[in-house]
Amino acid sequence: MPPTGNPWQRSLQAAESAGRLLDELGLDATRQVDVFSMCEDLGLWLTFMPLDGLLGAFVPEGSGGVLITDRRPITVQRYTAAHELGHWRLEHGHGLALDGEEHVFGTTPHERERLAQIFAANLLMPPPLVLSLLARIGVGDDAPVGPRDAYFVAREAGVSYEAAVRQLANLQVITAADATLLLPPNVRPLMVKSELAGGRRPVYGYADVWPVDEAWNDQVLSLRTDDEVVLSLPENRSSGYRWMFDNEVTEVVSSPEPPPFADQPSSTTETDTARRFVARARTARRGRAPSAAIDRVRHLPADEAASSVPERTLPGGAAVVGDSYLAGRHGTPQRPRDTRRARLAVATGDNDAVSAPVQSDQPGAGVLEPRSGPEELIAATGRRLLGVRFLEAGPKTLHLQHRSRYSDAPAVEEYVLHALVEPRREGFSIDQLVEDREEPWVGPVRDRKLHAPAAIIDDRDSD
């Protein structure tokens, strides 16, 4: 029976209908919902194809079917499929539904679309799932929900950031005012993803970013193609040991230790020459960059100028897209220092000038640098941040070894991360075309679809 009563009662019935459907199918409401398999289990045919101006449609032909665009990210595809299931469930499979952006995500005057939106939100983000996710990250009454927390809910539920924020407000986890502060233009999901990636923008804005550390050793992640994993592993660069992938280990060759540092200049002539050079640098016009360097940057190709870390392909369908290092330091407050003055002071041996207060008119004022003195950790263990993008679907394994770059000695530590990478959905479902899923021809066809070239995706959902 379609929802009845006043608008508030009909909205409540739409939400409850989504929960009852999960119960009828025996699905765990605390885990991510596989809405595509749900369509198939309900006997609905499911097709992914280009749709002009539409995100999806429900077609009441035969037992009913769902059409989904193949030109949008999987989070949009999942939410659209849930929306079409709402039409099927609430309208008992009667009536054609052609849904564009405004019907699935927008504020619509049509009640049938509004009820399908409520159904989709509660199907993909039922209260038990949302509350269990918040409990995992320690967010509750005493800890407000921030942008990273909202993105965590969105990523784990397999929905867009905006959909997660709105559902948090619907469940009264946050207020309507809080939701406004968490939504664009105040917060954009790409900003949150870049923060999780150590300040680096993901290759594709629609992809998810998964930060993991040493606690994830030998664990399994469920990802999608183009998603990026950011590995944060402890590393002490002064030791000469690095985290290396297996293909990098094969390139390691033994080499002699580097010679000791040469003695510092001791003659009066050498010291005077250094001081004259520094004096000329102090009197040079500030803010002027070497023209040759500017010219070189100006003539760089656009893609080379935009990326400082070239993509390195790994065996098995993955690629390293980010590689940075965070030096280890005490968790002490920091103060702004004039970095230019500090460099000149080090060159001249003027130790008093190193800790001199910042002048507001000095270049570099406001740059945060650690205090000099015992607060600094010299040769401390920092963090290596490795960004890995998964290019192909299927089971993947990342294997790293912590070893010397200059010796073929065995690794002192190893790190393994397993990933199950889901392909992007396109075309029809093979399993809908056969009565016996174990027929010999089904496996090869399914495998070809798994490794077929992916369609070009509209990146509008990155922000």
Of 384 and 329, the one with more pLDDT: 384
Of 187, 203, 234, the domain-final residue = 187
**324 pLDDT more than 80:** yes
73 and 156 in a common domain: no
- The torsion region of residue 319 among left (phi > 0), alpha (psi -120 to 50) and beta comes to beta
Q: Could you tell me the pTM of the whole model?
A: 0.73
Q: Which residue has the tokens 């041996």?
A: 349
In this prediction, residue 258 carries a pLDDT of 60
Q: What is the pLDDT of residues 81-140, one digit of tens each?
A: 999 999 999 998 888 999 999 999 988 888 999 999 999 999 999 999 999 999 999 987
Q: Which domain holds residue 176?
A: 128-187
Of 242 and 261, the one with more pLDDT: 242
Q: What is the pLDDT of residues 134-168, one digit of tens each?
A: 999 998 767 899 999 999 999 999 999 999 999 99
In this prediction, residue 237 carries a pLDDT of 85
The answer to whether residue 81 is domain-embedded is yes
In this prediction, residue 305 carries a pLDDT of 35
Q: What phi and psi values does residue 289 have, to the nearest 5 degrees? A: -90, 150
147 and 54 in a common domain: no
Reported as a pLDDT band with limits 50, 70 and 90, residue 423 is: confident
The answer to whether residue 18 is domain-embedded is yes
Closest CA to 200 of 224, 229, 225, 233: 229
149 and 119 in a common domain: no
Reported as a pLDDT band with limits 50, 70 and 90, residue 457 is: confident
Percent of the chain scored above 90 by pLDDT?
A: 54
In this prediction, residue 75 carries a pLDDT of 93
* Cα angle: 98, vertex 46, 54; to 5 degrees: 25
CB 419 within 8 Å of CB 435: no
103 and 19 in a common domain: yes
Indicate which CATH number applies to the domain containing 27: 1.10.10.2910
